[in-house]
Amino acid sequence: MLPSCPTCGLRFDREIRGYWLGSYTINLMATEAIWVSFCGAAVVATWPDPPWTALEIGSVALMAVVPFLIFPWTRTLYLAIDLTFRPAEEEDFTAPREAGFQLPRRRA
């Protein structure tokens, strides 16, 4: 994930106390919601004899992988929530220039 928006320059990390905790909480809640949906659907689909061992292994794999996959979206969602309650200020913006988008300079 880029450190700031390449168009407007809004920094994705607002450098306030508790920012990472809020972002982490959104990620944890989303991961748990995905896990509950997965396990609930698997139990309902295989009822009356759910494969408990397969569900345990699948749960561990799901909980190990999903937080990393959804991190950019949950971090962006928390930024949207934060911007709703604490609007952007001038110091939240930087020049919209990212390292990956720069062309190397030619030497004369």
pLDDT digits (tens), the chain, 108 positions: 778 888 888 888 777 777 788 889 999 999 999 999 999 999 999 999 999 999 999 999 999 999 999 998 998 899 899 899 989 888 888 765 555 555 555 555
Alpha-carbon gap, residue 75 to 33, rounded angstroms: 16
98: helix, strand or coil:
coil
pLDDT value at position 77? 93
Q: Is the dihedral of CA 22, 23, 24, 30 positive or negative?
A: positive
Helix (H, G, I), strand (E, B) or coil at 4: strand
Q: Report the C-alpha gap between 47 and 85 in whole angstroms.
A: 45
The pTM (predicted TM-score) of the whole model is 0.74
